[in-house]
């Protein structure tokens, strides 16, 4: 699960770069299932972040993750 909390005065491009860096780091996760879940969550957050030109006045919070069940 990813919890991305962006304060009101932060910059979207800075957060996008941070997510790109985290994507590179997550590529090194040894567990295939965990690695794919984290990479998928980061990709989803990046897509959602592209909907914003700037951070809203009250900030922005994005939660994203995969629900793993035994099915």
**For the domain that residue 6 is a member of, what is the CATH number?**
3.30.960.10
Whether 34 is covered by a domain: the verdict is yes
State the pTM of this model.
Answer: 0.86
Whether 70 is covered by a domain: the verdict is no
Whether 20 is covered by a domain: the verdict is yes
CA distance 6 to 3: 10
* Overall domain count for the chain: 1
The residue among 13, 8, 5, 4 whose CA lies nearest residue 56 is 8
Q: Which domain holds residue 36?
A: 2-64
pLDDT tens, 23-65? 999 999 999 988 999 999 999 999 999 999 999 999 999 999 8
């Amino acid at each position: 699960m990813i919890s991305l909390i962006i304060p009101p005065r932060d910059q979207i491009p800075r957060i996008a770069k941070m997510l790109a860096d985290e994507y590179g780091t997550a590529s090194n996760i040894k567990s295939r299932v965990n690695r794919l879940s984290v990479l998928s969550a980061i990709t989803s957050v990046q897509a959602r972040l592209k909907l914003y030109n700037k951070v809203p006045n009250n900030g922005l919070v994005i939660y994203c993750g995969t629900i793993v069940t035994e099915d």
